């Protein structure tokens, strides 16, 4: 019910999956109502801050990239954002010394561990929840995504692996926060060997390896230890969606259903949601229990 931040500063480092460069990251506590902001420590102080907001997503090609008003960027934020959502962190300053976050092992698990190492502090300021009031759906080709009213935050994700076109995997959970650590956090990003040369020629995936990516070739997994879950790819896409949705600026109360959706569709869904003020409300848990729906609508986050 109350806003949380971390108890102490924690740090980690690792390679950037796209730049291939070593990246250092630090998580710092922040005051109530601060929200989540990224700080580029390699830039001058007056241009270094970038808000973790759906409205600042400027690129969804293989990851979610945020941009400041000055055009400075930070990419691959979704794995950390998913961990922050699951750990119910409302206020945080994320300091990073480059244009993307470290990929770590390709999942959110290292970030969950980092937050648990830091510990958390709750304030006396109530959390504000983004309550979905009516169904909103967006489409892109065969992919679509929707948000609809529900108690708590639940999720359904349908995924079809490119090398298994006749097999649709579906991951479901009635409680995203309760399921995240054990069922989702360790699901890794994935790719296909046949795409590697093309991506690297475009300046992407420079740091991708079997240490941080599940790699398929001719339908087979190249990683020595195989998959962590039989449906690891579907779970990772669900993890990505949770991170993308936390860019809404508040924890969700509603049901998300993604069908073959990726970062672009997820962000388009938030833009469609906030374009319709009758589709959502922002309120504390106490407000949601006592105030009629007609009185709870507010302007966009």
- The residues assigned a catalytic role are 263
- Per residue, the 3-state secondary structure of 75-96, as one string, reads ECCHHHHHHHHHCCCCCEEEEE
Burial of residue 203, with CB atoms counted within 10 A of its CB: 0-12 exposed, 13-18 middle, 19 or more buried? exposed
Provide the token pair at 277.
């003020």
| Closest to 146 in 3D by CA, of 266, 244, 47 | 266
Provide the token pair at 77.
């934020």
Backbone φ, ψ for residue 93 (5° rounding)? -110, 120
Burial of residue 151, with CB atoms counted within 10 A of its CB: 0-12 exposed, 13-18 middle, 19 or more buried? exposed
Provide the token pair at 140.
């892109």
Provide the token pair at 283.
């309120």
| Closest to 190 in 3D by CA, of 164, 156, 155 | 164
Backbone φ, ψ for residue 257 (5° rounding)? -130, 115
Residues 107 and 187: beta-carbon distance below 8 Å = yes
Separation of alpha carbons 293 and 113, rounded Å: 38
Helix, strand, coil shares, percent, the chain, to 5: 25, 35, 40
**Considering Cα of 176, then 103, then 72, then 26, what sign does the dihedral take?**
positive
Burial of residue 267, with CB atoms counted within 10 A of its CB: 0-12 exposed, 13-18 middle, 19 or more buried? buried
């Amino acid at each position: 019910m109350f806003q949380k931040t971390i108890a102490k500063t924690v740090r980690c480092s690792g390679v950037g999956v796209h730049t291939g460069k070593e990246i250092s990251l630090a998580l710092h506590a922040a005051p109530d109502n601060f929200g989540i902001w990224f700080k580029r420590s390699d830039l001058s102080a007056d241009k270094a801050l970038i808000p973790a907001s759906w409205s600042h997503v400027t690129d969804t090609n293989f990851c979610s990239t945020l941009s400041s008003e000055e055009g400075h960027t930070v990419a691959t934020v979704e794995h950390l954002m998913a961990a922050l959502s699951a750990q119910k962190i409302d206020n945080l300053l994320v300091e990073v010394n480059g244009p993307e976050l470290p990929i770590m092992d390709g999942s959110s698990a290292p970030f969950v561990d980092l937050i648990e190492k830091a510990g958390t502090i709750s304030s006396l300021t109530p959390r504000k929840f983004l309550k979905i009031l009516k169904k909103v759906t967006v489409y892109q080709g065969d992919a679509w995504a929707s948000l609809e009213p529900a108690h708590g935050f639940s999720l359904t994700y349908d995924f079809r692996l490119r090398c298994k076109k006749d097999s649709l995997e579906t991951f479901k959970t009635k409680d995203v926060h309760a399921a995240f650590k054990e069922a989702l956090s360790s699901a890794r990003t994935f790719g296909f060997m046949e795409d590697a040369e093309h991506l690297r020629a475009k300046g992407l995936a420079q740091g991708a390896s079997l240490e941080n990516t599940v790699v398929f070739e001719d339908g087979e997994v190249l990683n020595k230890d195989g998959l962590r879950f039989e449906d690891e790819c579907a779970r990772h896409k669900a993890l990505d969606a949770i991170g993308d949705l936390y860019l809404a600026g508040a924890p969700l109360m509603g049901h998300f259903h993604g069908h073959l959706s990726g970062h672009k569709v997820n962000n388009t869904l938030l833009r469609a949601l906030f374009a319709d003020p009758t589709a959502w409300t922002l309120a504390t848990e106490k407000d949601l229990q006592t105030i009629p729906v007609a009185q709870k609508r507010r302007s966009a986050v």
